[in-house]
Amino acid sequence: LRTHCRPGGRLGGAGMRRTDAQQGFSSAAADADVIVVGCGLAGLSAALAAAQRRARVVLFDSSSDLFATNDVTDRLYFNAVDPERQGDLGITDSPELFYRQTRAAGGGRADPALVKILCYQAYIALKWLEGFGVGFENKVRQIPGGVYPRTCVASGYRAGRLAMMNAALDAGVTVLQGLTFRELVLDAQGRVTGVSAEDADGRPRRCSPRAALRPMRRSAQGTTGALARYSTCAGDAPRGSASGQR
């Protein structure tokens, strides 16, 4: 298990240094308010948002070396009402139209308040990502299966991800690598009370922070979380031993 934390240099480029510390999951996460799973853009966004609200955050990922192997080749598709990109193509759009179409695409089953946040704040989130160096094309697309041309596409966003990783470390986030997410730990009422993971040697790890966030893969817009009451970390306990776990 490798841990990255401050103090130390910045990460991931020529002349950059990193601080590594070998320590157990229990030690790293014992005082965590929030555990975030996955060091993609969604996970980094969630970790940064929590840290900026003064939460003690632990972010973990299954990669054995996040900073040496994060040449991301996948494209990022981000839906937003973008006056500049859409305006240049003569496309008329609005957050309200985005909201109505998104609600309709989901058959009206999604929480209207959450859909409104997604659609009305998407442009702010897009600009926030661009501020970290995530580069998007100077146009929008209507991707297959999409209902309107408002998809911004980014590719080769390694520099932006590194900038976000550095910002997370600067904000006090502890990054653990070599941990594979297994499941959310639930109590008898179905509430999330912790995170179950497995290290590279197959040993189970579990921690119960105040909140556990497992972002949707490749989606900086789709980060969701479940709040839970704080309990003592049980990082070395076998999986399935927590009272009320199902």
pLDDT digits (tens, 9 = 90+) for 61-116: 887 666 554 444 567 889 999 999 999 999 999 999 999 999 999 999 999 999 99
Nearest to 155 by CA among 173, 136, 176: 136
Mean pLDDT by runs of 10 across the 246 residues of the chain is 46 36 54 84 89 88 65 75 96 97 94 95 94 90 92 81 87 85 86 81 77 50 33 30 30
